[in-house]
Amino acid sequence: MPEEPEIRRAAYAEKKGEIVLREHEYDGIQEYDQKLPNWWLFIFIGAHIFFLGYWITYYQFGWFQTDEQRIERAMAVISEVKKKALDDMLAKLTDEAIINDWATDPTRVATGESIYMSNCIACHGQDLAAKIDLGGGQSVNLPGLPLTDGEWKYGDKPMDIFKLINEGTPADSPGHNGAKMEAWGQKLPPVQIAELTAFLVSKNPDDFQQK
């Protein structure tokens, strides 16, 4: 049988493989001690050195950005990209372009219809009438304005509609029965707002005469 390792009483183990029974004892409880392996000690000490260095550079020198700062910077970049995309779109988009080009392009109109069905029917209805037909001659009004009655409260030009969708109901307007449309430019890129505008123009040919 292998020999039992010698156990002596001491404050702590001094060499590898040595097992000591520590000198202190409380309420009959005794504690063994062994020398920790060097790899463990290197990791332990290294972690403390890393923490101290990181703490100094992060909190004292400010060499690293906080999570909040990184998020703010990323949001600023996104806002700048969206602004440039909008500026580029507005530079080449006109009332005539929407009426004669966008609203006559079946692909763009179909895309605009898909965008409408995904985002707008809750307020303006599937048939753009801002109502839900309950049958039997009864219907329920939805929060939005109808988009097929020939009345355009905030401007009757295609670019007026584009601006309304992009920026939402003007701040100085009470909205429709107290309800205001959100600024979809915060969620949709300019090209999709243009396609949505083209779809609405295509559904109202008498209001927007092609030239």
Helix (H) / strand (E) containing 19:
strand 19-22
Closest CA to 142 of 126, 118, 166: 126
Q: Return the pLDDT at 61.
A: 78
Q: What is the pTM of this model?
A: 0.62
Residues 90, 50 within the same domain: no
Assigned domain for 69 exists: no
Q: Indicate the number of domains in the chain.
A: 2
Residues 99, 53 within the same domain: no
Assigned domain for 208 exists: no
Q: Which domain holds residue 169?
A: 76-202
Sequential pLDDT tens for the chain (211 residues):
556 666 777 777 777 778 888 877 788 888 887 778 889 989 999 999 999 988 888 777 777 777 888 888 888 888 888 778 778 877 788 999 999 999 999 999 999 999 999 999 999 999 999 988 887 878 888 999 999 999 999 999 999 999 999 999 998 988 888 889 999 998 998 889 999 999 999 999 889 875 4
- With a CB cutoff of 8 Å and minimum separation 6, the contacts of 99 are 158, 201, 208, 209, 210, 211
Assigned domain for 103 exists: yes
- Asked if 198 and 113 count as a contact pair (C-beta separation under 8 A), the reply is no
Report how far residue 54's alpha carbon sits from residue 89's, in angstroms, rounded to the nearest whole number: 46
Report how far residue 115's alpha carbon sits from residue 11's, in angstroms, rounded to the nearest whole number: 76
Domain with residue 94: its CATH number is 1.10.760.10
Assigned domain for 71 exists: no
Q: Return the pLDDT at 14.
A: 77
Residue with tokens 């000490």: 45
Q: Count Cβ atoms within 10 A of the Cβ of residue 66 and give its class: 0-12 exposed, 13-18 middle, 19 or more buried.
A: exposed
Closest CA to 199 of 130, 92, 104: 104
